Structure 1
Amino acid sequence: MPAVTRPRIAFAGTPEFAARALDALAAFDCDIPLVLTQPDRPAGRGMKLVPGPVKQRALAHGLMVAQPDTLKTPELRAPLAEAVPDLLVVVAYGLLLPRVVLDIPRLGCINIHASLLPRWRGAAPIHRAIEAGDSRTGITLMQMDEGLDTGPMLAERTVDIAPDDTTATLHDRLAATGAQLLLDTLPALLDGRIVPVPQPSDGACYAAKIGKGEAVLDLRRPAAELERAIRAFDPFPGALMRVEGTPIKLWKATVEARSGEPGQILAVGDDGVVVACGRDALRVTELQKPGGKRLPVAEFLRGHPLAIGVRAECGTQS
């Protein structure tokens, strides 16, 4: 890449993960001529349109914002073309970039992705890494192409996954790591001192978007797998079991070497509700009923008692 003096770096992103990177870019010695983000979405009881974190941060920094719902037409691409960026930084934007968009910035488009590529390409790399029991993950800074997270790598940084990490806690560490990696890499990238490296041919896997249907735990599975799912689905969509028709969300649990019919409640107390699984059991210590709050088990049981011997529905994940 040829060197530039004061670069014009546009940005595309939508959620909080991306907002951390935008904050970092705003502190970098560059001009940010445009921020692309998805349209405001309805939220809350009144379903009023609410701007996403990137838009809120962009406005706070005094930056120009465009919110096309697609980039497939010349009219909707016009704000980016008119911004004449040297580079476009893309972070969890949520829209596919066609080749014509990738070609607008003269230095191309780069992406901050929350995994060590080629592992966990796709929409939910943080969730899937925890669910799979990975011991580490990280951030890859990648030159974008038309594939799904298949472009050559510019830099990467490893992050360990702790045994008690949830998607929420790991998200925050990865967001901070991604923002810092961007700052650390941009000077060499803009000076043409980084040679993109093709992704390894082995180890690629796909991190499918998390669906609400996955929340219902199949209690015939091993408790160790379900414990990881509980952490992976925190904060969304929340892991779920049904007891006598009532859905109960499970937010914290540990694995115990106990046996019983899958779904059977083996013990109930202030130190946890023990639920038998296909192998071993879960001791659940934080629960939530519909319309309620996440509660420690002792407080939950005072308002919502559970009985030993009752069986939760096993369910199947979809």
Structure 2
Amino acid sequence: MRLAFAGTPEFARVALDRLLDAGFDLALVLSQPDRPSGRGMKLQPSPVKALALERGLSVLQPQGLRLDGRFSQDAAAARAALQAARIDAVVVAAYGLILPDWLLELPPLGCLNIHASLLPRWRGAAPIHRAIEAGDTATGVTIMQMDSGLDTGDMLLAESEPIAASDSTASLHDRLAALGGRMIVEALGVAARGGLVRTPQPRQGVSYAHKIGKAEAPIDWTQPAAVIERRLRAFDPFPGASFGLDGETVKLWRALPNGGSGAPGTVLEADERLVVACGDAALTLQQLQRPGGRRVSAYEFMAARPALRPGLRLAAERGIGH
């Protein structure tokens, strides 16, 4: 079976690595264009591109894939390359570009997507984040036959994965990436024997995982403690959850709900523990980070902030506590 692969971040790199180790013939890899990153904001290749080049694969980085769109020249070049490669299927994982009809219809076996949820729950861009934020106790991976809708295609394989009470997006991501890599190898093996069964997604239970943005980072202390705690884990490593203190934006990475009470955002304890009141109950803050600093324990954070005291009100972001 001759494949093309379309993906960009680490989640996709894991799948590409598994396909290569399993001996599949990767004719071509598509990945997003290089982006500026790091302190120097130098252009950096995506994890998928880096692995593809390391393994000697051909890489295309079109700005777009619509033949009638702004980047029609890129799209035409990509189509010509894919046609010349005579591929049987395209494997897609967190690619980041919409696949137009010409690409969905090009390979005989179509385009198979590795999606990090149990569809139809959490269609869309951020299924791992939203599952943790919502308090789901389980998620999983679905191998899907892509169509022109947003994650609406028929399901080929699905496998669940529990969400632990301590899971962050980072930890759950790594388990789902490994699961997705194993499942796509299995799905292609079954497809080669003509044994894949397509199952339409249920009409009930549809939800959408909207893209995560930096605007969601500021902590709303009027929310229940359990809701804030889930958002801390959901937004780790990006975009983080933050509040304002002494004119700085402090990131809060870990906290545990407790039974305290008070005006939302008020520091209730700042000695052996750092406790802040929420909309209901309170949070014991455990891991924080100042701008440019490293993640530290609440004890280390308080030692460097002697003005942090009970009664102080924490701002939403970049404000001055009072």
Matches within 5 A, 1:157-168: 157-168=159-170
The whole-number CA distance in structure 2 between the counterparts of 1:303 and 1:274 is: 17
1:27, distance to aligned residue in structure 2 (A):
1.6
Q: 1:197-241: per-residue Cα shift (whole Å, max 9, x none)?
A: 000110000000001010001110100000000000000000011
Q: 1:258-302: per-residue Cα shift (whole Å, max 9, x none)?
A: 1000000000134x3111000010111100111111111122222
User: Which is worse superposed, 67-76 or 110-119?
Assistant: 67-76
Confirm or deny that 1:25 pairs with 2:25: no
Match of residue 4 from structure 1: none
The whole-number CA distance in structure 2 between the counterparts of 1:148 and 1:99 is: 13
Tell me, yes or no, if the aligned pair for 1:84 and 1:104 is still in contact at 8 Å. no
2:35 corresponds, among 23, 28, 41, to: 41
Match of residue 303 from structure 1: 304
Confirm or deny that 1:95 pairs with 2:108: no
SS at match of 1:17: helix
Match of residue 140 from structure 1: 142
Match of residue 208 from structure 2: 206
Tell me, yes or no, if the aligned pair for 1:70 and 1:76 is still in contact at 8 Å. no
1:244, distance to aligned residue in structure 2 (A):
4.2
User: Which is worse superposed, 72-81 or 39-48?
Assistant: 72-81
Equivalences, count: 308
1:314, distance to aligned residue in structure 2 (A):
4.8
User: Which is worse superposed, 260-269 or 305-314?
Assistant: 305-314
Matches within 5 A, 1:130-279: 130-270=132-272, 272-279=273-280
The whole-number CA distance in structure 1 between the counterparts of 2:305 and 2:101 is: 55
Give the letter aligned to residue 248 of structure 1.
Answer: V
Match of residue 82 from structure 2: 80
The percentage of counterpart residues that share the same residue type is 55
Tell me, yes or no, if the aligned pair for 2:261 and 2:280 is still in contact at 8 Å. yes
The whole-number CA distance in structure 1 between the counterparts of 2:95 and 2:299 is: 41
Q: Against the structure 1 CA distance between its residues 307 and 153, is the aligned structure 2 distance closer, same or farther, given a 3 Å change threshold?
A: same
Match of residue 289 from structure 2: 288
The whole-number CA distance in structure 1 between the counterparts of 2:225 and 2:279 is: 7
Match of residue 122 from structure 1: 124
Kindly report structure 1 stretches of 4+ aligned residues shifted beyond 4 Å: none
The whole-number CA distance in structure 2 between the counterparts of 1:132 and 1:158 is: 17
CA RMSD, Structure 1 to Structure 2 (Å): 1.2
The whole-number CA distance in structure 1 between the counterparts of 2:301 and 2:48 is: 36
Tell me, yes or no, if the aligned pair for 1:168 and 1:234 is still in contact at 8 Å. yes
SS at match of 1:33: strand
Give the letter aligned to residue 61 of structure 1.
Answer: R
Tell me, yes or no, if the aligned pair for 1:244 and 1:312 is still in contact at 8 Å. no
Tell me, yes or no, if the aligned pair for 2:135 and 2:230 is still in contact at 8 Å. yes
Match of residue 60 from structure 2: 66
SS at match of 1:9: strand
Q: Note the residue ranges of structure 1 that are not aligned, 5 or more in a row.
A: 1-6
Q: 1:17-60: per-residue Cα shift (whole Å, max 9, x none)?
A: 00000000102232110000001101112211100100111111
The whole-number CA distance in structure 1 between the counterparts of 2:85 and 2:270 is: 61
Q: 1:43-92: per-residue Cα shift (whole Å, max 9, x none)?
A: 11221110010011111111111111111132343222222210000000
Give the letter aligned to residue 271 of structure 2.
Answer: G
Match of residue 72 from structure 2: none
Tell me, yes or no, if the aligned pair for 2:242 and 2:316 is still in contact at 8 Å. no
The whole-number CA distance in structure 1 between the counterparts of 2:271 and 2:248 is: 19
Match of residue 12 from structure 1: 6
SS at match of 2:91: strand
TM-score (norm 1): 0.94
SS at match of 2:6: strand
The whole-number CA distance in structure 1 between the counterparts of 2:111 and 2:302 is: 52
Tell me, yes or no, if the aligned pair for 2:140 and 2:159 is still in contact at 8 Å. yes
